[in-house]
Amino acid sequence: MIEETFLRLQKSESVVCEMASRLLAAYISSGQLVEENHDELIERSIKIAIKVAQKADRAIESDDENGEK
């Protein structure tokens, strides 16, 4: 029987996971993901997604950050 895992991700964590899953899907569809490197590509996808999120956060000022609603 498969063990169930429950996660309670914050909104920003969810966004990073979604980006990482899209990157991983690109690795899969391009044939780059194989059994020997799947952990490495998962880690790489997460690191890239975090980097994109950090750069976007620095580049974009949201309404709630500048006091507007």
Both structure tokens of 67: 């006091």
Render pLDDT for 4-16 as a digit per residue (tens, 0 to 9). Answer: 999 999 999 999 9
Count of all residues that appear for the chain in the document: 69
Render pLDDT for 5-60 as a digit per residue (tens, 0 to 9). Answer: 999 999 999 999 999 999 999 999 999 999 999 999 999 999 999 999 999 999 98
Cα 63 from Cα 69, distance rounded (Å): 6
DSSP-derived secondary structure for 7-66: ----HHHHHHHHHHHHHHHHHHHTT---GGGHHHHHHHHHHHHHHHHHHHHHH---TTTT
Cα 60 from Cα 69, distance rounded (Å): 16
